[in-house]
Structure 1
Amino acid sequence: MAQYDAIGTQYDVIKKTPFNKLEQFNFRKHIEPFLQRHGTKVLDLACGTGFYSSLLLEWGASFVVGVDISSSMVNAAKARIAETPYASQARFVQGNGIIPQEYSAENKGFDVVSGAWFLNYASNLDQLASMFRTISTNLNSNGVFIGICMHPADDLESFASGVNNSAWAQTGVHYEFGNVLPGGVGFPITVFGSVSPDSKVEFGTFHLKKSLYEQAARAGGMAGRIVWQNCEFPGETWREEIGLQGDDDGWRSLQAYPLLCTLLVWKE
């Protein structure tokens, strides 16, 4: 996407926020158990600057192929991995996850496909189904997709209102919902990330209905279980870090209107 060629490594501002600690806490909890078997191969879609690609290797993956639509992101991912002990265990390529194709050099499937903020770039059912087709095309028959996604909800109008009036800005990341998409399938969102007045980033994405995700998964060739893991919060230390230790209403607004979940979908 052109917006990411322009943003480049500025995107990593988000990785320095308290929000990312919450994101990592949830993602690691659900993906790490699938990385422990020796030889586990992972396809990391929308890999960005390789932030999670490196962590997937640290958490146990044997080999990671990272794919991103932005050439500047892919170059940044290559530079990042070169500075780690995992340089020989990763490969990064430019590709569009909405156009199904195989990414394994050996024409063998992956054990896990990860998508830390991948599916949220679909603006309609057809695009979402194509993304799931990319996932199913690259998974082994017993493989699983694990992704960080928007909170699962079908009544997105009330959810959007709640998010727009919540305390999420305290975490360094907040969303602003735009006008409803055609057909009422969801909303466009502007994501704002900031760690200081001079260190900010913003970009666009989408929040589609939960039911569309499940419909798209089946249309895209994912026939196995679909499991939504709701956002879990790390505890009082993180609450203090974001300045809500004395703000019960603000804290409850995060729990009532979480900005993320972890989605697991098995191929068979």
Structure 2
Amino acid sequence: MKRTHHCNQLRAEDVGQKVALAGWVHGRRDHGGIVFIDLRDREGLTQIVFDPQHNQPSWERAQGLRSEFVVAVEGVVRRRPAGTDNPKLPTGQIEVLAHTLEVLNASDTPPFPIDDAGGQAGEDLRLQYRYLDLRRPPMARNLILRHKIAKAVRDYFDTHRFLEVETPILFKSTPEGAREYLVPSRVNPGKFYALPQSPQQFKQMLMVAGVERYFQIAKCFRDEDLRADRQPEFTQIDVEMSFVTREDVLTMMEGLVAHVWQAARGETLALPFPRLAYRE
């Protein structure tokens, strides 16, 4: 069964269309012998209806569905009965009357709810079952937001003639401000690579090489104790420019922040940003 739509896609104008959806059972309800499930994928939810008067075999299989079962469903889009619309969902005006149901994978009872309430579970438990934690809508939204930000950064710098250059991860030890992670070399016994605290030396080499405008969404590593603003492994937007003034750099970074805010949050920031003089 090939999926035709994702679970946040169908609207009232799709009524009457035959569709195929796949995802996880977010919830199951039995009302008067009719089974309803909320089918979830990374995009959202769609309500599926199993009616024994419409398709007895699918209704019988739906009796065994439980939370987090992975299923594929074929059916027809129809309007929800009057008074049952869910304004909290983009798909809240429609439901899919199921013709066929295929259980792709059964599931044990999850160790915590796969919803907003799951965030109240202990951090150790969530990390132990990280693949379940990442199914929760807040975590999925974080991944989507991070993707939008990274894409917006790349689009912005591309329009300003920057080159994205990947610099090495295995390098020699450098005199920066933190301790480095060391990686032993198998082919050179007794010698070690150092993981970069930042691409500082590499981007300076690129400027000397004539690249002129460089950026990278760079992985950095620092062997330090945890603090609110320090992590052993983190990602930074790394930038270097040649033949520019301080004002050029400030203006470029202001434009980057405004572009990312618009792309990721749909909000327009007023430029230029207010600035404080050193004496202030």
TM-score, structure 2 length as denominator? 0.22
Higher helix share: 1
